[in-house]
Chains A and B, each alone.
Chain A
């Protein structure tokens, strides 16, 4: 009897307490109506794994198109509304020139302008920005820009040529204690001269027609001198003052950046009013991939950005979410390659480097990197990634082609046997994607008879090993946005560049580089590039190219529109001025 009575009395007590917690949870969840993701009109099928188009060779002296015409969308955008974009990280510093990674430009570049800019649809064509016209000196060592009148900074002050001069002098000679890792090339500026009210000339140390691309790159933005020279410098969002299509409104470091449209932006849309179409644009950090997928699925964000490392989950998410969201892929200029330490054995020997180069089967690597969908997640590359004008020819070159692969493998094995090399240790970043990639690379070498031991560490730990030349090989995945073959050579492979432990180049490389930089005719530039590649493959071999990830991907709600095909292209270099939302947007 006693037992029964106590049970009767305990259960209600338990139920009361348990129900209280349940009610608290339900009420917390139910405060906000679930955001319905609007069903958009049918749109074109996504092409998540399409290989990027081959990069056109730059035309160094091409006459610029008028700005509005060059950037005109094929159809009128709709004005108003806002979008929220979820990214893995946002900024860590207000002056994004001070850091190397591209999280900061993703959130801040839309507030600034460059002298010239890349066309977002291909990432290589130069378009007008602050400068409406430009010319390259006969010796390819000076650039003259004609700058627009009447451009205003977000604080209402006029942009002057002094601001441009100050910006690039700062890049050339950073203040004490500062360095701008992505602006290394600008240190070769020798002189900046203001010619008249609208004309400025920038001279560089050595002839290089491709140098103009540095002014278009994400880090080559123009600052307001009067803001930057205020006490404290770039110490908060109120110092993010540019001339770009968006004005910073509210921001929290590492969390979000909200911007409103700049009504005085200097480039007009086809409807005659200034870009941008959107009233507001927000970038928010959602570090976890599942959180980003959930946010786009529930309409909390309109665009979710995914790194190459998150490509597979993004494809999976697309399949799960269905037709309210599409995917677009941004080609990356960067490549994955294996860095060899030429300051010590075994790769201080050209034969060992050649063995490593020949034993690495790039087509096999591509095959191993296939996505669950069966598509390839990477394309084989040479030393210059997508800026290589001959990237399409890579699968057909002797050491890569299926037809001659056996021969290349045999030569590689013979060299390895001669030197007695049976494998090596590879330094790898601890992030899971890089470990997976390294395991695939190890598999490729294992197929060729070499054993690879992986040494896994975080970015700073690996950088120390590499800086101290305390490694044999490392897997390098530079997501660099280097604009040209010459920039790749200078900033990656030649002494003073990133590959500090690469083998010193044969002297002829310098002559060929001078030929390339001085070439004003694309035919001459192509000839020089071909010869550089031959020398690199046969007489130098600074690295072993692995391949290039197809790109980072974006899941985009179908109510977000822009020029056809442009939204997913070169997203990290995008100022978002020609993006709009249609009437289905919950944020219209």
Chain B
């Protein structure tokens, strides 16, 4: 097996181990119900994390994800109050996400600024905008939102694949095609693997960078739309910290933070591992909720250390 599949294999292995462990510990755990719930409850983070995967594979980082989720929700709630149909405001917000991301990409490329700092600025900007619009939660009352949450597919074994989960899986499928069957996808891996070489090999650097962050913005805005539907409201603090959860999901999914190596599909499992840990601790009942973060943190730490050793096998071995 090629070493590039190793991180992904480990991720899927960890997911299986956690799931089987849960099944052995608790009755009713080993079911499509639990899987369906994990997919539905974490859909918005996983969607955002899919966009982040592209950014991280290209060697960048996007910290504006959580604020984007909050901002999209708040604007949608206000548009709802103004009488807009969610099916009109949602595509508009997704377009906004794409445009905002593209702008971030332009600034990163044109001014040669570290993605970390410019997306940090975007984080503050969007979160501030949330509070400019509303200080409190605003409900989304349009009947479509209710219909949306009632939609879904029942799984064999009593499980329920909610509409959020379906949107997420479709978004994932699109992302996999983009990553592996388009010239742009190859360019993302090339830029992350070795930017100077990619340039010499004729990869259009500016176009690629702009597209990467536009894609990241699109996916985090879509995550925001799903979250707004999921909670039927817009709340200015919504999504706080989700950018870090998205990064965690990407890294747990086997994408190397050094860029160039990773799989979009891994992010699904990374996000599900985080959800699985939370579910396990909830099933236990007696454990403090703090253990969710501690367990997630420990796992992340182990993965990063593992990656550190894997990176060595990808290093260029030139002498001079």
User: Bound pair: A and B?
Assistant: no
List the interface of chain A (C-beta within 8 A of B). none
